[in-house]
Structure 1
Amino acid sequence: MSDTLPAIAFIGAGSMGGAIVRGLAASGVPVDGPIRVTNRTAARAATLAGIDGVESIALEERPEGNAEAIAASRVVVLGVKPQRMPELLHDIAPHVRDDAIVVTLAAGVPLATYEAGLPGAAVVRAMPNTPSTVGKGVTGIAAGTHATPEDLAIVRRLFETVGEVLEVRGDDGIDAISTISGSGPAYVFLLIEKLAEAARHQGFGDDEALLLARGTFAGATALLDAEGEEPAELRRRVTSPQGTTERAIAVLQDAHLDQVFADATDAAYARAKELAGVNPTPATEVIILKSSD
């Protein structure tokens, strides 16, 4: 495979799509031609207009911008809101190339919807998360019926510019990964919020409490990356027998956090199925096809 990514168009680039555009442009990965990005308003288009290698198109100024960008690109990333997707698929279908790889960022819209709207197209669902905006994302990708291993490799390279990539099987895999890495940053922010509250309970001011909580999470994650050990092992190293940490961990374990997180992710999975119009059922085994090294 060539080191150069094929021509890419982003149809709708809000905060997530914009982050991927910025990550791709900053990565140094060569792209065949400019990265074409369309947005409805000139104000939104202006936020990406100054990036080297990016052609930012405002549809209010160039109404045919979507058609032009799609016709010129092999990879087409759809970044509009889920409720707008059926209308968009209808509008772009005549312009999608025969060799196109259509990548969707929308949550709750199954692969079958895209394959019905774009018959024969190679479709890939992607579930990036918000840390992609700082190059620390985790993105799940799943291939549709017509996507080849080469297509998946191209999509993988695209998302590796903003973090790590995990390839899963089908809509079930994407819905499952959305409950962990997709929603996961909110879980972490909640834990930081609650640890800061505990610091205030121990007598620290607001600024000091947030510094302690935020710095502890950031440092623990950095240590996990640096050591290459399992989290349980690093926890054991911090937990001296009959010490203060052991006492605190016992309280947390008695709260059955494992069940709390299982219940939370099951609820998120059920909601993902509801949004897709599918009867919610318990998640089955997620087939991991390939992950970033």
Structure 2
Amino acid sequence: MDSHLILVGCGNMGYALLRGWLSSSTVEPGNVDIVEPIDSLRKRAALLRVNTHETYETLPANADLVVIALKPQALQTELSSYRSFSDHAVFVSIAAGVSVERLKFLLGSSRVLRVMPNTPTAIGKGSTIIFPDSAVPDGDLAKVTSLFKAGGAVHTVRQERLIDAATAISGSGPAYIFHLIECLTEAARELGLPAAVADSLAKETVYGAAALAMEASDAPGELRRQVTSPNGTTAAALAVLMNESALESLISRTAKAAFKRSLELSASEQRP
């Protein structure tokens, strides 16, 4: 990309995006400016040879793409500082639950997209959902899509409610999987496996199963059946997980809790 990009905020998600963009050569370090007030985070970003700034005041005026990686609660006070880019830049927000209408109001621009990536974008294995405002030109959508493809798969939705739903699955989802790995590791230790072996087996099993699901032509349900011998060890384990839809119910409640919170954040951001 030949865009000059400003990344506002370089915490965990912002840094994951930055690493993905640079490692894939989607953007050149010299064409990236980071605004990050926390000294340690700014120094971490500087190691990637990008331009770093403590505040917006020293930013170059020619940026044509502004990615906002701030916490939702920070947008009310911070976004007005970037209105000077509204006549020539497209804005991307990764803040959960902050609507496009709210972003347009705060930025004074109609060239606004909501995007929900996840942390595996740092290694090119992520999933990103994009919701563009209806006023966003096709060229802007193509530019943003190209940028986020550096981190993995990209999907576009045309109803804003669906980006909140996607947040509950792919945005928050890595945390669910990391916790599953924690649980598998602890279960392995309880069964007597050494800590290092338990840790490796849990990670390898989740990684391998996900890779197989991505590569296989069979649906996950069929892959599950292929592993499950009648009256075998897997069948005994699944009898626990599938009894009265125990795991399915838990995952459904988990995703709905995240979705509900995203909607609550959106509602709170709409208030004056």
- Regarding TM over 0.5, the answer is yes
1:83 equivalent in structure 2: 73
Counterpart residue identity of residue 176, structure 2: Y
Retained in 2: the 8 A contact 1:77–1:102?
yes
Deviations 1:122-147 (A, max 9, x none): 10111111222332211111112321
Q: Does 1:29 align with 2:18?
A: no
Q: 1:1-293 maps to which residues of 2 (within 5 A)?
A: 4-29=1-26, 34-52=31-49, 54-59=50-55, 64-65=57-58, 68-69=59-60, 71-93=61-83, 95-256=84-245, 257-277=247-267
Contact 1:240 1:246 in 2 (8 A): yes
Query: Moved runs in structure 1, 4+ residues, more than 6 A?
Result: none
Instruction: Report the RMSD for the aligned CA atoms in angstroms.
Output: 2.1
Secondary structure in 2 aligned to 1:37?
A: strand
SS of 2:17's partner is: helix
Amino-acid identity (%): 37
Amino acid at match of 1:181: S
Whole-Å Cα distance in 1 between the matches of residues 168 and 67 of structure 2? 22
Does structure 1 conserve the Cα–Cα contact (< 8 Å) formed by 2:3 and 2:31?
no
TM-score, length of structure 1 as denominator length = 0.83
**2:131 is matched by which residue type in structure 1?**
A
For the 8 Å contact 1:122–1:147, the answer to whether it is kept is yes
- Distance in 1 (CA, whole Å) between partners of 2:114 and 2:88 is 17
Indicate how the Cα distance of structure 1 residues 133 and 30 shifts in structure 2: closer, same or farther if over 3 A, else same. Answer: closer
CA displacement 1:243-290 (0-9 Å, x = unmatched)? 222232222111412222112211211111111226xxxxxxxxxxxx
Post-superposition shift, 1:101? 0.9
In 2, Cα distance between equivalents of 1:30 and 1:200: 44
- Which digits, 9 at most, give the CA deviation of each residue in 1:49-103, with x for residues without a partner? 2335x222233xxx612xx34x31111111122111111222221x114232100
Find the residue that maps to 1:64 and give its secondary structure. Answer: helix
SS in 1 for 2:180: helix
The count of residues paired between Structure 1 and Structure 2 equals 267
| Equivalent residues of 2:18, 2:122 under 8 A apart | no
What CA distance in whole angstroms lies between the structure 1 residues aligned with 2:165 and 2:2? 29
Asked if the contact 2:42–2:53 (Cα under 8 Å) also holds between the matched residues in 1, the reply is yes
Which AA in structure 2 matches 1:205?
P
Query: For 1:113 and 1:122, how far apart are their aligned partners in 2?
Result: 13
Q: Which amino acid aligns with 2:249?
A: Q
**Structure 1, unaligned runs of 5 or more:** 279-293
SS at match of 1:229: coil
> Distance in 2 between the 1:204 and 1:80 partners?
42
Work out the CA distance in 2 between the residues paired with 1:202 and 1:57.
Answer: 51
SS at match of 1:208: helix
Maintained 8 Å contact 2:10/2:45: no
| Bigger mean CA offset, 185-194 vs 221-230 | 221-230
SS in 1 for 2:115: strand
**SS state at 2:225 partner:** helix
| 1:8 and 1:75 in contact (8 A); partners too | yes
Name whichever structure is richer in helix by fraction: 2
> 41-50 vs 130-139, which deviates more?
41-50
Quote the offset at 1:229 in angstroms. 3.0
2 CA distance for matches of 1:146 and 1:31?
29
Distance apart, 1:182 and its partner CA: 1.1
* Preserved contact between residue 138 and residue 164 of structure 1 (Cα < 8 Å): yes
